[in-house]
Amino acid sequence: LDQRDGWIWFDGQLVPWKEAKIHVLTHGLHYGSSVFEGERAYGGQIFKSTQHSERLKRSAQILDFEIPYTVAEIDAAKRLVLEKNGLTDAYLRPIAWRGSEMLAVAAQQNKIHLAIACWEWPSYFDQAQKMKGIRLDIAQYRRPDPATAPSTAKAAGLYMICTISKHQAEKKGYADAMMLDWQGRVAECTGANIFFIRDGVVHTPIADCFLDGITRQTVIELAKRRGLEVAERRIMPEELAGFSECFITGSAAEVTPVSEIGPYRFQPGAITKALMDDYSAEVQPKSKAA
């Protein structure tokens, strides 16, 4: 990924892709002082760009640093890098971190950096294939207690247990892993939120110790717009046997049906399909009023 041609927005400049480098003594690398975003552009428009930029700023503040750009400046930088790379349908990855002036746990004077990369990552259009659903493992690690980790920040450090869990799942032939929370309730996947359907009602865990995804919020709104009841509640893993459909949501995953979680089986059905269609329609670029 680091050997491509293209441009990366780096501390206010557009730099050639291969030259967007940092020093090995970067605080963000040693101590996890790094926050990021994952978002998509559809037809040249970044879906909910401002919400993502706001979350990036907020994630940094939770980690006790301030990104030296405003939300409007971050939004503009994302549009600029997308345009410079000649992309209209792409994934964007803004990342902010503490620099390399000092290497110790405390590094209050270190410079705060911001970089934004983007690359082509088409959304999965083959609906029939997608409706077969993906298979999920149940992760060994749990989402931490919010008293233990800054669980509402999209912080790089929180992804350590996600990478381990996803690797373990992949080694067993699964696409991803569902994680429980510190209390043993269903939480989310390693990079996406999770939803279940039973008797026409949409169920999803309360986002009290994991990311309340922008896609999660969008899908809840879309379900309500369809007149569906949405129950945000505590879901125990034993309950999975009673759900008929399951899907995961995320900026990258969009709405992806699930067919299997450990011993539990689901049949992606009409509600999942309807919400996939609604989401595809929702992300389409809004025509600019003349």
Which residues does the annotation mark as catalytic? Answer: 154
Q: How far apart are CA 110 and CA 99, in angstroms?
A: 5
Closest to ligand PMP by CB, 256 vs 259, is 256
Q: Does 40 bind ligand PMP (CB under 6 A)?
A: no
Residue from 6, 133, 205, 213 in contact with ligand PMP (CB under 6 A): 213
235-264 positions binding ligand PMP, by CB under 6 A: 249-251
Q: Which two tokens stand for residue 189?
A: 């996947």
Helix (H) or strand (E) holding 27: helix 27-31
> What burial class does residue 89 get, using C-beta atoms within 10 Å of its C-beta: 0-12 exposed, 13-18 middle, 19+ buried?
middle
Q: Does 215 bind ligand PMP (CB under 6 A)?
A: yes
90-129 positions binding ligand PMP, by CB under 6 A: none
Q: How far apart are CA 73 and CA 53, in angstroms?
A: 9
Q: Does 188 bind ligand PMP (CB under 6 A)?
A: yes
| Shortest Å distance, C-beta 224 to ligand PMP | 17
Q: What residue is closest to ligand PMP based on CB?
A: 213
| Shortest Å distance, C-beta 33 to ligand PMP | 18
Name 143's bridge partners: 181
Q: Does 222 bind ligand PMP (CB under 6 A)?
A: no
CB 94 within 8 A of CB 112: no
Q: How far apart are CA 153 and CA 2, in angstroms?
A: 26
Residue from 49, 59, 165, 193 in contact with ligand PMP (CB under 6 A): 193
Residue from 28, 99, 191, 268 in contact with ligand PMP (CB under 6 A): 191
Q: Does 205 bind ligand PMP (CB under 6 A)?
A: no
For the CA atoms of 197, 163, 174, 172, what is the dihedral angle to 10 degrees?
-140
Closest to ligand PMP by CB, 20 vs 214, is 214
Q: Centre a 10 Å sphere on the Cβ of residue 227 and count the other Cβ atoms it contains.
A: 7
Would you tell me which residues interact with ligand PMP (CB under 6 A)?
A: 38, 188, 191-193, 210-211, 213-216, 249-251
